[in-house]
Structure 1
């Protein structure tokens, strides 16, 4: 691991992805503690902080990855390729469960899907030369689009947006802004995005509605998704997508604020204590502004409202300032190793922690407790291996998630010891 890495940022990233893994892998979705669920609509739970924290952290990391701000065709190609690789990894999550192979079913089909996963994962995370990386990313992206719009039944409703897709888009735009503009311009762009998005959602009614609204499925962002992403949205709703087109715009502002904080941390004119103090003050101001804006433009993750951007970037900045002071200034690193090993290898967790549970759900066998029923492997491990030991089903569900995290921690510790880092 490079000596010039900001350890507090790696720890922050590790904390975030570890929490994400807990949130995404309960024993049962019907018995989950409320803080580990997204808010129903307006509002913000701890779970609603995971995604914006990732985008903020990515923004901060941009200035560390490109401290000299040199821009040329090579740099541009690297940014495009990295963005495409993230987008392609994200889209693959949605294709995985729909892959069909020569009429295979059951375990043989799962094995085939996992083999394709290994090929795609290697193509998008392998350490090739720049030209081959670009070729593979572009080719895979084109294949996705061809399959999604080919009319093939298996893929005609595959979802195209997603978490990594949004991160890839934000990374591309935030990186170019960082390299091509100064901090004043970056700040103005972020402010313009937040006010512009607020104006769109509160002043422009969705076609078919006389007045604007911020309700599920009837707001302007939902209408844009229903027109441009028809048939390729989140399956739970099918009328709008939580990582849709219009709501990606304010997420760009989230990334830009992260870029600005990263440049503060890279400012050689400031001593470290000044950087920590300025981050602390900035975080508090952003939180307050977000809460004030919340009065007329509610904090909402699904819509990624401007108040949500300010509030979550404020919390992220505040958290980073505390970690920066404790780890990089006070040199207090006790207890951070676990989060560090998660933080330096986020992409492999992102990728496989989505694939593995899907694969386990696809493996079914007769339920030993119900003579005529079937149970999948993931549910069986929970029902037979964890649930019987707890009277409180919420505790059982949480422990299952913690066990899953423990397994990942062992693997990541091995990767860290062997200096194996999986990057896009």
Structure 2
């Protein structure tokens, strides 16, 4: 990871959209969960579906956070990697990709792989959004540099179909064969066999690997569709970089997004929309929503020029990896408990809510200072 100070012109709608995604993840979501737990208000509980994953089939706004993160890593590619495209020596590119993948993988293990626990019995290899980004980014970057756009579209379609065909027609030991239940789908079998003890939540008890009953996330077969999600972002990046008129870009974003979402929900009649295992129908639905969100942000910020009031989003968006890492591995609540513990006797159950706000404020303050000093940490 390196620190950069830069004055380069950026696609501000992308920075704001990235900040919107991170704000939901690291600030608004935790605040709403703390508020719902503190108040126990029935009306608020009904509202909380927005900030929670669906249990299995279906899609909630909270389910869009991870696909949007992957999608945006693809959008930036035509801007950040174009200088390597015509270079005769591809070694600098390959070294950059390797470094990015390794760092994201390690960061993912720090966030969710129990790497910081220093307990070899509880280290999990593939379990985090950052690692999904690393996988999708590597595939997409190689396709971006060594294939045409037509080939990239063809590969995207083939990957979606390959995932579907494997899930639909491959059957092993009672798994697969069109089974999309949590315990008997093919992706579940592959992760349990290949990752084994190194799968998230896995523990070795009496010589048997046991995974938490609630854990059904899959990563290995799902990697095919992680790549497609990043590729759809790449296609959105092509539109952003094109010199076509801004209105045309907005129309493309909204039109393509709507078409993909409708196609995904229609496909979902046969292959359910399941974010947990990253089904092909879910990729179309989520990428469609991402296209439409990008269209709305591009329309308001880069096309119409409305930039007043978006700085707080850019604070999150221009250091998104830092925001994600801070919220995942650093608990600033302990600082709040040190300074504010005397208020607990007066605030009752709202003391915990105040500590959540404190944690949010400290993370934002760190990001704001970095933003003001134009320090952006890039992998």
TM-score range, shorter-chain basis?
Answer: 0.7 to 0.9
Post-superposition offset of 1:315 = 0.7
Please name the residue that 2:122 is paired with: 157
Determine if contact 2:175/2:189 at 8 Å carries over to the other structure: no
Aligned-pair RMSD on alpha carbons? Answer: 2.8
Post-superposition offset of 1:389 = 6.3
- 2:69 is the counterpart of 1:64: no
Q: Which of 230, 234, 254 lines up with 2:196 in the alignment?
A: 230
| TM-score of the superposed pair, with normalisation by structure 2 | 0.84
SS in 2 for 1:27: helix
Post-superposition offset of 1:4 = 2.6
Post-superposition offset of 1:157 = 3.1
Determine if contact 1:221/1:246 at 8 Å carries over to the other structure: yes
Taking structure 1 as reference, are residues 92 and 415 closer, same or farther at Cα in structure 2, changes over 3 Å only? same
Post-superposition offset of 1:212 = 3.3
Between the aligned partners of 2:13 and 2:176, the Cα distance in structure 1 is 49
Decide which moves more: 42-51 or 345-354: 345-354
Post-superposition offset of 1:66 = 1.7
Deviations 1:7-60 (A, max 9, x none): 000000000011111335743896772221111111111110000000000000
SS in 2 for 1:231: helix
Post-superposition offset of 1:386 = 10
Taking structure 1 as reference, are residues 189 and 2 closer, same or farther at Cα in structure 2, changes over 3 Å only? farther
Between the aligned partners of 1:184 and 1:387, the Cα distance in structure 2 is 61
Please name the residue that 1:150 is paired with: none
Determine if contact 1:91/1:160 at 8 Å carries over to the other structure: yes
Mapping 1:334-353, distance limit 5 Å: 334-353=308-327
Taking structure 1 as reference, are residues 241 and 176 closer, same or farther at Cα in structure 2, changes over 3 Å only? farther
- 2:46 is the counterpart of 1:7: no
Determine if contact 2:176/2:185 at 8 Å carries over to the other structure: no
Q: Which of 234, 238, 245 lines up with 1:259 in the alignment?
A: 234
Determine if contact 1:190/1:253 at 8 Å carries over to the other structure: yes
Please name the residue that 1:413 is paired with: 368
Mapping 1:393-408, distance limit 5 Å: 401-408=356-363
Q: Which of 53, 59, 66 lines up with 1:38 in the alignment?
A: 53
Please name the residue that 2:263 is paired with: 289
Point out where structure 2 has 5 or more consecutive residues left out of the alignment: 1-5, 203-210
Deviations 1:70-91 (A, max 9, x none): 3511111111111111111111
Taking structure 1 as reference, are residues 82 and 385 closer, same or farther at Cα in structure 2, changes over 3 Å only? farther
Taking structure 1 as reference, are residues 8 and 56 closer, same or farther at Cα in structure 2, changes over 3 Å only? same
Determine if contact 2:160/2:228 at 8 Å carries over to the other structure: yes
Post-superposition offset of 1:98 = 1.9
Q: Which of 21, 46, 64 lines up with 1:16 in the alignment?
A: 21
Please name the residue that 1:172 is paired with: 138
Point out where structure 1 has 5 or more consecutive residues left out of the alignment: 100-153, 364-376
| TM-score of the superposed pair, with normalisation by structure 1 | 0.75
Determine if contact 2:110/2:116 at 8 Å carries over to the other structure: no
Between the aligned partners of 2:274 and 2:99, the Cα distance in structure 1 is 31
Post-superposition offset of 1:206 = 3.5
Please name the residue that 2:278 is paired with: 304
Please name the residue that 1:27 is paired with: 34
Q: State the aligned residue count.
A: 348
Please name the residue that 2:108 is paired with: 90
Between the aligned partners of 2:75 and 2:172, the Cα distance in structure 1 is 35
Taking structure 1 as reference, are residues 179 and 402 closer, same or farther at Cα in structure 2, changes over 3 Å only? farther
